[in-house]
């Protein structure tokens, strides 16, 4: 190929512009739904330019996750561990549903993004001050990972993956009895499998789970701070 026939790629790209494009692709297709070639095509550039400014796909994904997390509206101006955890995790639930695959990345790779560090530090510190002691980090991570796992599961459902819900709904529909428990479960599953209700149902389900996890953690904290339990 002669120099005159060589393709003229877009110039003037920066790390920020590349991450912008990767974040947009993630919102459209999910973090695992695009390739480096897709990203290069979106930017009208070459792979070597992306490698130069950001790195390989792992580095680009890490940068996207860091950006997505940094954009969350997180308030750290409370001295109550439960209020802080609810604020952080409810914001995470609402925001990460816009970027499928980010929750799965965090579960797989751990909290490696710089934007996570202040939240973790403040959260665990408040739990230490509240009396959690050596269980502070474990209790914080249980709440965090529970929410991430449910968001990741919701990503699969929203993407149309078969999570067995349609099969469960078929079984419930075929039940000849009118048992109240089965009927209530049927109503819930119908919301999860309804295209118009699915997103909102998953978000509300995650928020419900967060409330119940925090309820359980509060019971445990009460045990830790009330002194030794006398055996009956």
pLDDT value at 4 more than 90: no
Q: What's the rounded Cα separation, in Å, for the pair 227 and 64?
A: 45
**Domains of the chain listed by start with CATH number:** 3-69 (1.10.10.60), 73-225 (1.10.357)
pLDDT value at 49 more than 50: yes
Angle, to 10 degrees, between the axis of helix 198-225 and the axis of helix 81-96?
160
The DSSP line for 220-231 is HHHHHHS-PPPP
Closest of 14, 105, 118 to residue 72, by C-alpha = 118
Q: How confident is the model at residue 201 (pLDDT cuts 50, 70, 90)?
A: confident
Kindly report, residue by residue over 160-190, the tens digit of the pLDDT.
Answer: 545 566 666 666 666 666 777 777 777 777 7
Q: State both tokens at 224.
A: 């830790």
pLDDT of residue 5: 46
pLDDT value at 103 more than 70: yes
Higher-confidence position of 89 and 187: 89
pLDDT value at 1 more than 50: no
Kindly report, residue by residue over 66-79, the tens digit of the pLDDT.
Answer: 999 888 877 777 88
Mean pLDDT calculated for residue range 111-115: 71
Q: What's the rounded Cα separation, in Å, for the pair 181 and 164?
A: 19
pLDDT of residue 138: 96
pTM of the full structure: 0.78
Higher-confidence position of 146 and 6: 146
State how far the alpha carbon of 183 is from the alpha carbons of 162, 179, 192, in Å: 22, 6, 15
């Amino acid at each position: 190929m002669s120099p005159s026939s060589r393709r003229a790629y877009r110039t003037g790209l920066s790390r920020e512009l590349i991450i912008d494009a990767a974040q947009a692709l993630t919102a459209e297709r999910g973090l695992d739904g695009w390739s480096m070639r897709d990203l290069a095509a979106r930017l009208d550039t070459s792979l070597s330019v992306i490698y130069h400014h950001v790195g390989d796909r792992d580095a680009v994904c890490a940068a996207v996750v860091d950006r997505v997390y940094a954009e969350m509206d997180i308030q750290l101006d409370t001295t109550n561990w439960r209020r802080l955890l609810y604020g952080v995790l409810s914001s995470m639930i609402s925001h990460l549903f816009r970027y499928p695959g980010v929750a799965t990345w965090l579960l797989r790779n751990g909290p490696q993004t710089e934007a996570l560090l202040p939240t973790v530090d403040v959260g665990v510190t408040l739990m230490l001050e509240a009396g959690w002691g050596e269980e502070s980090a474990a209790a914080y991570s249980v709440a965090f990972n529970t929410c991430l796992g449910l968001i990741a599961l919701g990503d699969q459902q929203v993407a149309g993956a078969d999570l067995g819900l349609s099969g469960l709904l078929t079984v419930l529909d075929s039940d000849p009895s009118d048992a109240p428990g089965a009927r209530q479960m049927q109503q819930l599953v119908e919301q999860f499998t309804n295209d118009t209700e699915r997103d909102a149902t998953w978000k509300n389900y995650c928020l419900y789970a967060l409330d119940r996890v925090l309820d359980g953690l509060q019971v445990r904290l009460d045990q830790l701070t009330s002194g030794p339990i006398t055996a009956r």
